[in-house]
Amino acid sequence: MEKTFTAASLDAREIQVFPSGSAPSMIASPATFSGHVIVDVLVPSSVETPASSALVSFAPAARTAWHSHPAGQMLIVTAGKGWVQRDGEERQAIGAGDTVWIPAGVKHWHGATDINAMSHIAVTYIRDAKNADWMELVTDEEYADR
């Protein structure tokens, strides 16, 4: 029997398996992402698990908007090559097998390189019912700046 994929179904006392594909894939919003990005929720958040998690797949040159997280975010790169950049600093290369920690309140963006796709698992911690503060889109000039 397949479980229904909702936050209300989470029970902190039971081991639960959420089969691959039990939640529909979503195309990321153009208000918060540039390029083609697919988001697959892995486990819904709940009071017992104050975090959201998703597999995020970026086509080449796709990226997030500038944003921050009120309680931080961990990225686990599962495939490809990408970049992560803190506002005011040089971007950093990331690739399959890398883990990235983004502290609370740090303005940043992340996404694929201009020639490679990249996927990561994002574990985003929630504070006061919020997991992200979205800002302006990363411009093509900011993205291309080496």
Q: Write down all domains in the chain, each with its CATH number in brackets.
A: 24-141 (2.60.120.10)
pLDDT in the model for residue 4: 46
Beta-carbon neighbour count of residue 27 at 10 Å?
10
The answer to which of 7-16, 24-33, 57-66 has the lowest mean pLDDT is: 7-16
119 vs 3: which has the higher pLDDT? 119
- What is the pTM (predicted TM-score) of this model? 0.88
Q: Using one digit for the tens of pLDDT, what is the confidence trace for 50-106?
A: 888 999 999 999 999 999 999 999 999 999 999 999 999 999 999 999 999 999 999
- Rounded Cα distance between 35 and 112, Å, is 10
Secondary structure of residue 70 in the 3-state scheme: coil
Q: Are strands 73-86 and 108-112 parallel, antiparallel or unpaired?
A: antiparallel
- Cα→Cα distances 81→9, 15, 98, 109, Å: 35, 33, 10, 14
Q: How confident is the model at residue 2 (pLDDT cuts 50, 70, 90)?
A: very low
Q: Which residue has the tokens 């990331």?
A: 94
Distances from the Cα of 102 to the Cα of 16, 27, 50, 66, angstroms: 28, 23, 17, 13
Distance of CA 62 to the CA centre of its chain: 12
For residues 5 and 53, the model is more confident at 53
